[in-house]
Structure 1
Amino acid sequence: MGLFKWINKLAFISNWGRLGGIHGLIVMFVYRIGNIIYYKVNVPILKQVLWIVYRMIDLLIIRLFMNCEFPAQSQIGKKLHLPHGAKGIIINPFTKIGDHVTILHQVTFGQSKESRKAPEVCDYAYIGVGAKVLGGIRIGKNSKVGANAVVLTPVPDNCTAVGVPSVIKNKPMDHVKE
């Protein structure tokens, strides 16, 4: 009985379902290693050697075979949830993603030509299948982006964005009239 409890405590076993199986697990493992190399390794020659190895793995395995982009420069919080794996997810290197965010497949986070800024996704947000989040906008805490929505404007906290271009639904109540 003790062996099963020990196995369940292993990080990769507990993250298996949350990351959509082996596909998401490999993608996030490679991303986290690259992120550590990019932000934490301070010895220049060691950083260059490790960065070359990371980029080869990223290009050959993650981008070509797994068809997604999770650049090491992007900032992804804890407990990212990828229920369908990382299939087709494209993340701009300057995107910031908070904790406990759910991202479904075929989602793109990109820069707009005008602003040269990338999106920020706050904690507990939900990004639906095929959504495109473009430009230096903020997806608020507990907000949802519907399937195939094209989000070009900020989404406030606790709201839902749907459509092409997206329209905000379920606007939060600032105050209640009595």
Structure 2
Amino acid sequence: MNAVKLYRVGNWFYQRRVPVVPGLIRNLIFLLFNSYIPVSANLGKGTIFAYGAIGVVLHANAKVGTGCVLGQGITIGAAEGYVTSEINKCPVIGDNCYIGAGAKIIGDIKIGDNCQIGASAVVLKDIPNNSIVVGIPARVIGQTSVDYKAIRP
């Protein structure tokens, strides 16, 4: 059993408004993988966690597209009251994105499709499709190829 499979089971119960079970599964994910992956988050089909999802923190309202790879130690979180007047505005990650180990994606931003986010990057602004971003704060340094795939067969 891995974190994605447990998340999918918990999300299934969450979508059907079954009480207690989603919370138990979220806690089980935390105990097994030292990660906070709420079952209310939206992970697209085929999205996976690298290295067993060690140390991953996702906001309950986070949205991640299909076919993405999420590295260990990442945070996808909301902008809080000190950053914006609206709380719980979460990132939306496009399809086919790779998020490197330790990356932080914070706030009401959109990451386009087919993007690569470098290890330990701190992303605070929108990122266009097919971008490669690195740094603190993250900046675009290149473009992914037209046939880029985050998950290679």
TM-score range, shorter chain: 0.7 to 0.9
SS of the equivalent of 1:170 reads strand
2:56 aligns with 89
What one-letter code is carried by the residue in structure 2 that aligns with 1:76? L
1:33 aligns with 9
What one-letter code is carried by the residue in structure 2 that aligns with 1:127? I
Query: TM-score normalized by structure 2?
Result: 0.84
Tell me if structure 1 keeps the 8 A contact 2:56–2:72: yes
Tell me if structure 1 keeps the 8 A contact 2:103–2:117: yes
Give 5+ residue unaligned stretches, structure 2.
145-153
What one-letter code is carried by the residue in structure 1 that aligns with 2:50? P
- Offset, 1:167: 1.1
What one-letter code is carried by the residue in structure 2 that aligns with 1:38? Y
Structure 1: distance between partners of 2:124 and 2:24 = 33
Q: In structure 1, which of residues 45, 64, 75 is the aligned counterpart of residue 42 of structure 2?
A: 75
Task: Identify which of structures 1 and 2 has the higher relative contact order when contacts are C-alpha pairs closer than 8 Å and 6+ apart.
Answer: 2
Query: Structure 2 matches for 1:121-132, cutoff 5 A?
Result: 121-132=93-104
2:140 aligns with 168
Query: TM-score normalized by structure 1?
Result: 0.72
Q: In structure 2, which of residues 124, 129, 135 is the aligned counterpart of residue 152 of structure 1?
A: 124
Structure 1: distance between partners of 2:48 and 2:138 = 23
- Offset, 1:39: 1.5
Tell me if structure 1 keeps the 8 A contact 2:26–2:39: no
1:176 aligns with none
Structure 1: distance between partners of 2:107 and 2:32 = 28
The structure whose residues are more often helix, as a share, is: 1
Over the matched positions of the two proteins, sequence identity in percent amounts to: 32
What one-letter code is carried by the residue in structure 2 that aligns with 1:101? C
Give 5+ residue unaligned stretches, structure 1.
1-21, 42-46, 173-178
- Offset, 1:171: 5.8
Structure 2: distance between partners of 1:158 and 1:94 = 24
How many residues were matched structurally?
Answer: 139
